[in-house]
Structure 1
Amino acid sequence: MRSITTIIGTGLILSCILTGCGGPNSTNAPTRPDPPLPRAYNLQAANYGQWTTSPATMPVNPIHAALLHTGKILVVAGSGNCPPQQTGCPAGPPYAQGAALFDLSDNSVHILATNWDMFCNGMSMMQDGRVLVSGGTKSYGTLALVGAQGDAPFLGLPNASIFDPSSEAFIDLPATAHGRWYPTLTELSDGRMMTTSGLNDSDGSNNNTSEIWNGQQWSTEIVGDPHIANFPGFEFPLYPRMHLLPTGHIFYSAPSSATLDFDPTSQIWTLVAWTIYPGLNDPNGERTYGSSVLLPLTPQNNYSPKVMIMGGDNPATKTTELMDLSPAGMQISAACPNYAPCWVQGPPMAQARVEMEATILPSGKILVDAGSAQDEDAKTASLETEIYDPASNSFSLAASSSFPRLYHNIQLLLPDGTVLLAGGNPAQGIFEKHIEIYQPSYFFNSDGSPATRPKAASDAPSSITYGQSFTLSTPDASTIASIALIKAGSVTHSFDMDQRYVGLSFTAGQATLKVTGPPNSNVAPPGYYMLFLVNKAGTPSLASWVQVLGSAAAVAKVELHPERVPTPAYIIQRKHVTES
């Protein structure tokens, strides 16, 4: 089995070179000098960045991927969209090559077995750095000949497991109440984990419920309908796009045209807004296999949330939409004349994309790439990369990648500030094995020469608490413009369930930075984050791993609220509109 090696530029081996890379006993500070920055092959890299293809190949279909604080990447395939009854597909369960672990410090790969089929699960990072896996595939759907009987739906599994980076093994957990195929996992502000939606294990219908894992057991099911306060009959789509807001509520943004808010205390879903987005081909406004991003939360914007949804549908759309959930966005305005908050049209992408990726960079910008104009069609693949800048609310073109990235591609920000892109599964049993690395333009000066990377803090704390003051030592303190905590990502099906950018306030001395931790767990839920120092030119340091600590008592017990009284953290303002 070939090891996975990712080469950047000429002679630079991609390595996280962080404490934590060596395993659970490592410290979080870099243990070697910063590596040389990638060599610029042409001046275009200064404006567009550049892609590099690894000489290695991906041994398993990378349907799910999570960046671990140990400096490794967990890739999960399960049966890998290769039905066991199909010739050449793996038999199971168990699946001898159901997952893989990539070590970025020495470029090795370790194949892992899975006890059950984790294909199309929900996967998210827990506050202690372990990975929770919920749901998967009980059986593949089949399509009978036209006019014949025998169509069968996909069926989901109720299974759940935890991957422990210390032992590098999966630990089976109690099952959820019913099966879940294509569920979404979301960390709540107290560290509990909520799984939502997915096809069930009986007839393949949608499991329109949520369940919460408290570290010991699953809660009783939280039913979507009739417990949606003002929208009875709503049904969650598969892989709903969910974000934890600074209110402590969960925000459902896409792919359907309805937008909802979940209060974990009352366990009530509330309709916030809905619309049919302009430019979409789906009459119900569904952005199937589009993406959703919670834009950076920073001291400058008072940690006020804004959500962006983009792409999706088939044929795909270029359109994007934005919802401002700040106090100002809650007010009736010219942008939201009838109700607030509301979706407003954002700038269009250059390329129509379905099965796309959207990844937050240390600069606070969003890398948008992958996908195609027609779903699972390599001829219409979107090789062009785009960068969205929240400050200017605009897209700019970036370098083009080399390989079509269709259904089941994955993308993750790495601790050195580069981005890994892999996968693409246009048909069952076939997947793209090449791995690509994107080096954003912040690695280059305007003449194409390597930019100077600020030195990472030699004394970054291994853990911090909310509002804690701490000091970072770096000779480049006077050049630092921003400090970013970016949560380790966990991505599948065009959505990163964990990525989150939290800016930190700081004051700079000659060789030190006095930093204040995130204000609370609604802004930064507990877990492992990459801490980047970003200089005035926009170039990031190597990241240091920092664990934001939550309260163990907060996840000791699940408290259910049978009265289910809606207690929204904000009031949705609506102007009276006479219906015709």
Structure 2
Amino acid sequence: MSATVMLSKRILKHRWLWTQVTVVLHFLLAAVVGVHGQAVSLGTWEILVNNSGIASMHAAVTRYGTVVLLDRTNTGATEIALPGGACRDSDDLVLKHDCTAHSVLFDPGTNTVRPLSILTDTWCSSGQFLSDGTLMQTGGDFEGIRKVRTFAPCPATGTCDWVESVEVVLEAPRWYATNQLLPDGRQIIIGGRSAYNIEYIPPAANGLLYFDFLNTTNDAQNDNLYPFVHLLPTGNLYIFANRDSIEYNYITNTVVKRFPRIPGEPRNYPSAGSSVMLPLLASNQFATVEVLICGGAQYGAFLEPWTQKPCSITCERMTVTDPNPIWVEERMPFARCMGDMILLPNKDVLIINGASKGSQGWGNAIDPVLNPVRYNPYAMSGSRFTIMAPSAIARMYHCTANLLQDGRVLLAGSNSHQFYTFTGDYPTELRIDAFSPPYLSPTLNDLKPTISVSPLQISYGTPFTVTVITPTGMTTIVDLNLMSAPFNTHSYSQGQRLVSLNVAGSVQVAQASVYQVTATAPPSPQVAPPGYYMLFAVNQRVPSTAVWIRVASSG
């Protein structure tokens, strides 16, 4: 690297630091003063674990509230030993005989981690929960590229661990693929590097299916990796890759609709925007579906990483159920790539993590974006974004973000290096921290509801009742929102969805603050695939701690 380039980088870095300081001071002042002279919460941060042992590349929250964290195995030794003094011998290129763990189980109740046993490389793999609550994890690299692994969760005090199947293997190598749970309980696995095809677990009778959409959306950067996949209430799939998207009928293996090309940059890996399907609402019979895609890297940022091109500052929103859908553009407060988009229980979207320049890859990004941004989909256009309090930890390449059942967002990982490196501007990050959105502010405790009684399972289309306690009573009927537990990796949460239920009403019982709230379960597995969900009660945009509830067919 030339002296001129190094000097330019230093100047850019100092300029970025001054900009961040200015932003932080501005919004700390706003937090103290507020719009009308009153205190306004912009959220708070707390470090939960100073050394988790691994840099989290993949993460998922189990129905016991614990969090499975995964890294690749081909990094050499980590900072935590395998359980029971075990070691593994493998074909890894770095360390053939390895006695360290590359997966841990985090317990938010005690802020502790327990090492788990992963035997094959999970680098850039995919996953999602099965309908019985078991986490299925597929593919990776090297000896793990066709692997199917399962983690059947247990209480935090248990000893559950990964099981790597020897009977079931993937039909195609999967590296950077996407999984989606289907209404019938199967998982569809789509794409991956040089994998222009689809397969199912359990396998379909017709085996591997060629998928031309992934071939036509490929480019010199392979910007169609980790395609965004959302299950629509019709049962079809919305699939987005690079800058194009389709509605796909997986039963007939046909494309039933093609959508306009999104403006601006590529949005998938390695350009790394993010996507959510906005909340599905019983108030419109789940008939309106909107997709939001934010951020991404400029084309060429991955091929020429030394250019450190600015990331995208745009969000694009489209109602995919419209007869003639169009993308509607909004501008974020910060340019961002490698950001995660997390649905919050009050129907907001949190945009968190990432960088403002570069793309994914080893050292390809600079200038981390420390401020999360809250997006309110139902606010007036032009006033939907709110800048939140900044983090002290840069999280860029290979980091994770997951919603916990208490409403916090758990952050882990960040490793911009091929191996664990604890020097330089952006060292490998082993800390775990949590962001508490403004709805967890102590000033809102009087509005915070509690679900005291709820069913363990609900059946499609069937009414059910929960008991909700609010400290000062309710002025409106609470919302009941079901939220899936997705598999988060590489700026995208596979299987993420929020289903806002039809609440018929509430009856005050026992005392002034106790209510029985009656709602109707989702009408079909197309709206909410069978499985375990977090059920949140939300009172005037303040959510309860969730209870886990299983959604299944009757009988």
5 Å matches for 1:110-129? 110-129=114-133
Cα distance, 1:276 vs structure 2: 5.0
Contact 1:273 1:343 in 2 (8 A): no
Cα distance, 1:317 vs structure 2: 0.2
Q: Structure 1 CA distance, aligned partners of 2:56 and 2:269?
A: 25
**1:384 is matched with which residue: 356, 371, 377?**
371
5 Å matches for 1:1-400? 46-79=40-73, 91-92=95-96, 96-138=100-142, 157-166=145-154, 168-173=160-165, 174-199=168-193, 206-214=194-202, 220-225=207-212, 233-235=216-218, 237-254=224-241, 256-270=242-256, 272-275=258-261, 277-278=263-264, 280=265, 288-303=271-286, 304-313=288-297, 314=301, 315=309, 316-326=311-321, 329-330=322-323, 340-345=324-329, 347-374=330-357, 375=359, 376=363, 379-392=366-379, 393=381, 394-400=384-390
Q: Structure 1 CA distance, aligned partners of 2:350 and 2:496?
A: 13
Contact 1:95 1:115 in 2 (8 A): no
Contact 1:95 1:117 in 2 (8 A): no
- Local SS of the residue matching 1:451: helix
- Local SS of the residue matching 1:181: coil
What is the CA deviation profile of residues 99-128 of structure 1, one whole-angstrom value per residue up to 9, with x for unaligned ones? 111122233311112121112110111111
Q: Structure 1 CA distance, aligned partners of 2:474 and 2:376?
A: 25
Cα distance, 1:549 vs structure 2: 1.2
| Residue number in structure 1 paired with 2:417 | 427
Q: TM-score, normalised by structure 1?
A: 0.74
Q: Structure 2 CA distance, aligned partners of 1:535 and 1:453?
A: 6
Contact 2:226 2:269 in 1 (8 A): no
User: Partner letter of residue 226 of structure 2?
Assistant: Y
**1:509 is matched with which residue: 498, 501, 507?**
507
- Structure with the larger RCO, 1 or 2 (CA within 8 Å, 6+ apart): 1
| Residue number in structure 1 paired with 2:14 | none
Q: Structure 1 CA distance, aligned partners of 2:336 and 2:403?
A: 20
User: Structure 1 residues 269, 276: closer, same or farther in 2, change over 3 A?
Assistant: same
Correspondence 1:462 to 2:446: no
Q: Structure 2 CA distance, aligned partners of 1:436 and 1:232?
A: 39
**1:549 is matched with which residue: 532, 549, 552?**
552
Mark the runs of 5 or more structure 1 residues left unpaired by the alignment.
1-40, 140-155, 200-205, 331-339, 553-580
Q: Structure 1 CA distance, aligned partners of 2:377 and 2:125?
A: 31
| Residue number in structure 1 paired with 2:481 | 484
- Local SS of the residue matching 2:435: strand
User: Structure 1 residues 233, 54: closer, same or farther in 2, change over 3 A?
Assistant: closer
Cα distance, 1:49 vs structure 2: 1.4
Cα distance, 1:165 vs structure 2: 1.0
Contact 1:76 1:99 in 2 (8 A): yes
Q: Structure 1 CA distance, aligned partners of 2:518 and 2:33?
A: 37
Q: Structure 1 CA distance, aligned partners of 2:499 and 2:278?
A: 9
What is the CA deviation profile of residues 234-275 of structure 1, one whole-angstrom value per residue up to 9, with x for unaligned ones? 558211111101110111124x11112221210223451232
Q: Structure 1 CA distance, aligned partners of 2:205 and 2:189?
A: 10
Correspondence 1:499 to 2:486: no
User: Structure 1 residues 359, 238: closer, same or farther in 2, change over 3 A?
Assistant: same
What is the CA deviation profile of residues 473-505 of structure 1, one whole-angstrom value per residue up to 9, with x for unaligned ones? 123373543111111121000000022110011
Mark the runs of 5 or more structure 2 residues left unpaired by the alignment.
1-30, 79-91, 302-308, 421-427, 509-514
In terms of mean alpha carbon deviation, does 510-519 or 104-113 score higher?
104-113
User: Structure 1 residues 217, 100: closer, same or farther in 2, change over 3 A?
Assistant: farther
User: Structure 1 residues 211, 66: closer, same or farther in 2, change over 3 A?
Assistant: same
User: Structure 1 residues 355, 435: closer, same or farther in 2, change over 3 A?
Assistant: same
- Local SS of the residue matching 2:280: coil
Q: Structure 1 CA distance, aligned partners of 2:269 and 2:126?
A: 20
**1:444 is matched with which residue: 441, 453, 465?**
441
In terms of mean alpha carbon deviation, does 460-469 or 370-379 score higher?
370-379
Q: Structure 1 CA distance, aligned partners of 2:355 and 2:185?
A: 36
Q: Which one has a larger percent helix, Structure 1 or Structure 2?
A: 2
| Residue number in structure 1 paired with 2:399 | 409
